[in-house]
C-alpha cells in the first residue's frame, strides 16, 4: 500500500481517472478514524491539491444533499482555500436554514473570526449553534469571541447565554471573573446559567456572592446555590443548607440535603436535622439521606 506522504502516491493519484472520488473516500476514512485529534496537514494539503476545484463546483449544484455533503467534507478536511467562497455564500444567505447553519459551522472550523458576528445577525439563532461555533474555533480565536460575547453591551441574550454555557462545558476557569459579574444580571436565565457554569467549573472566586441566591424567589437559583455550596464544600453555608431542607420545592430540599453529604460531618448534621428540624418534609429528606449514607458505608 502506498504511503500518502510519498510523492509516488501523488503521482499515482494524478494518473487515476477517479482521483477525486478515490481521494475523498481515503481522506474521509482517515478523518473518521482520527476524529477529535488535531488537524492533519497532510489531509489539508491533499484535499487542497485535488479537491478544491471539485468542491467549488459542487457548492453551486442544485442538489441540496450534494452541497451539504461538500460542506461536511470541507470542514473535515480543513480546506482553508475555500474560506473566501464560503464567506461569500454566507453573506448572500438570508435564512438560517440547515445549509446556512452548516456553512457557519464549517467557517468556524476554518477559524474565521467573523463567524460569531455573522451568526448574531439572525435573531432566531439557537444556543446550540453558537456553542457549535465556539467549540470549532482555535483557542486564541475562541477566547476573543467569548470575551466579546461577555463584554459587549448588546441585546443578544442568546449569544451571551451560549458563551456562559460553553465556558462551563469547556472548563474555562480563566473566564470565571467575567461570568461571575453576570450574577448581578437582571435576567434570571442568565443568572441561572452562570450558576450552572460555576457548578461545572467547581470554583468560585467570591463565595459570598452566592448568599442572595439561597433566598431567591427562583427555586432554580436556590437549588443551584445549594449544589454549589456542597460541591465546593463551602462550610459557611451549612446552616442555610439546613434551613433549605424545609423549602417548598422538592428539588431544593433534595439538593440541600445532598450538599450536606459533601461535608466531612454531613452524617452528623443530617442525623441532627432528621430529628430536630421543625419541618416534617425536611426531617423526612434528612432521614432519607442519612439512610443512604449508612447504606453506602456497608
pLDDT reading at 43 higher than 90:
no
pLDDT reading at 86 higher than 90:
yes
pLDDT at 269: 96
Q: What is the mean pLDDT of the chain?
A: 90
pLDDT reading at 34 higher than 90:
no
**CA 240 to chain CA mean position, Å:** 31
- CA-CA distance, 21 to 31, in Å (whole number)? 15
pLDDT at 14: 60
pLDDT at 22: 64
Q: Which three cell numbers stand for residue 70?
A: 461538500
pLDDT at 1: 38
Annotate 91-106 with b (16+ C-beta within 10 A) or e (fewer). eebeebeeebbbbbbb
pLDDT reading at 112 higher than 80:
yes
Contact 273, 283 (CB under 8 A): yes
Q: Which three cell numbers stand for residue 293?
A: 449514607
pLDDT at 2: 40
pLDDT reading at 103 higher than 70:
yes
Q: Which three cell numbers stand for residue 67?
A: 452541497
Contact 210, 239 (CB under 8 A): no
Which residues make Cβ contacts (< 8 Å) with residue 74, sequence separation at least 6? 55, 82, 86, 106, 110
pTM of the model as a whole: 0.87
Confidence of residue 19 (pLDDT cuts 50, 70, 90): low
- CA-CA distance, 139 to 151, in Å (whole number)? 18
pLDDT reading at 10 higher than 70:
no
pLDDT at 213: 98
pLDDT at 12: 54
Mean pLDDT of 33-47: 71
Mean pLDDT of 102-121: 95
CA distances from 231 to 23, 255, 257, 261, 269 (A): 50, 11, 12, 10, 16
pLDDT at 294: 78
Question: What pLDDT digit, counting tens, does each position of 232-254 carry?
Answer: 999 999 999 999 999 999 999 99
Confidence of residue 16 (pLDDT cuts 50, 70, 90): low
**CA 260 to chain CA mean position, Å:** 29
Q: What percent of the chain is modeled with pLDDT above 70?
A: 88
pLDDT at 154: 66
Mean pLDDT of 57-81: 94
Q: What percent of the chain is modeled with pLDDT above 90?
A: 77
Least confident of 3-17, 112-126, 217-231: 3-17
pLDDT at 49: 84
Q: Which three cell numbers stand for residue 43?
A: 489531509
Mean pLDDT of 79-88: 95
Q: Which three cell numbers stand for residue 25?
A: 473516500
**Cell 501523488 -> residue:** 10
Question: What pLDDT digit, counting tens, does each position of 151-182 carry?
Answer: 876 678 999 999 999 999 999 999 999 999 99
Mean pLDDT of 33-54: 77
Name which of 286, 262, 291 is nearest 272 in CA terms.
286
Half-sphere exposure for 207 (CA within 13 Å, toward CB): 14
- CA-CA distance, 259 to 244, in Å (whole number)? 11
Amino acid at each position: 500500500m502506498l504511503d500518502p506522504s510519498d510523492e509516488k502516491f501523488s503521482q499515482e493519484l494524478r494518473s487515476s481517472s477517479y482521483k477525486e472520488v478515490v481521494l475523498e473516500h481515503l481522506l474521509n476514512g482517515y478523518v473518521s478514524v482520527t476524529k477529535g485529534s488535531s488537524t492533519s496537514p497532510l489531509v489539508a494539503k491533499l484535499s487542497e491539491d485535488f479537491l478544491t476545484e471539485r468542491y467549488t463546483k459542487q457548492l453551486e449544484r442544485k442538489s441540496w444533499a450534494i452541497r451539504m455533503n461538500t460542506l461536511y467534507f470541507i470542514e473535515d478536511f480543513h480546506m482553508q482555500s475555500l474560506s473566501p467562497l464560503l464567506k461569500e455564500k454566507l453573506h448572500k444567505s438570508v435564512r438560517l436554514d440547515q445549509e446556512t447553519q452548516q456553512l457557519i459551522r464549517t467557517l468556524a472550523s476554518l477559524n474565521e473570526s467573523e463567524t460569531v458576528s455573522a451568526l448574531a445577525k439572525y435573531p432566531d439563532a439557537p444556543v446550540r449553534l453558537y456553542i457549535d461555533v465556539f467549540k470549532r474555533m482555535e483557542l486564541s480565536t475562541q477566547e476573543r469571541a467569548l470575551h466579546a460575547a461577555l463584554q459587549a453591551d448588546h441585546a443578544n441574550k442568546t449569544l451571551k447565554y451560549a458563551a456562559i454555557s460553553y465556558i462551563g462545558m469547556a472548563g474555562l476557569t480563566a473566564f470565571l471573573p467575567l461570568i461571575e459579574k453576570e450574577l448581578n444580571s437582571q435576567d434570571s436565565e442568565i443568572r441561572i446559567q452562570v450558576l450552572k457554569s460555576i457548578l461545572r467549573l467547581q470554583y468560585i472566586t467570591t463565595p459570598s456572592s452566592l448568599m442572595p441566591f439561597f433566598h431567591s424567589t427562583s427555586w432554580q437559583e436556590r437549588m443551584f446555590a445549594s449544589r454549589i455550596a456542597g460541591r465546593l464544600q463551602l462550610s459557611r453555608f451549612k446552616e442555610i443548607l439546613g434551613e433549605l431542607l424545609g423549602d417548598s420545592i422538592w428539588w431544593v430540599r433534595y439538593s440541600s440535603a445532598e450538599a450536606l453529604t459533601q461535608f466531612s460531618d454531613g452524617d452528623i448534621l443530617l442525623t441532627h436535622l432528621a430529628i430536630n428540624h421543625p419541618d416534617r418534609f425536611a426531617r423526612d429528606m434528612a432521614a432519607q439521606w442519612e439512610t443512604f449514607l449508612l447504606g453506602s458505608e456497608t
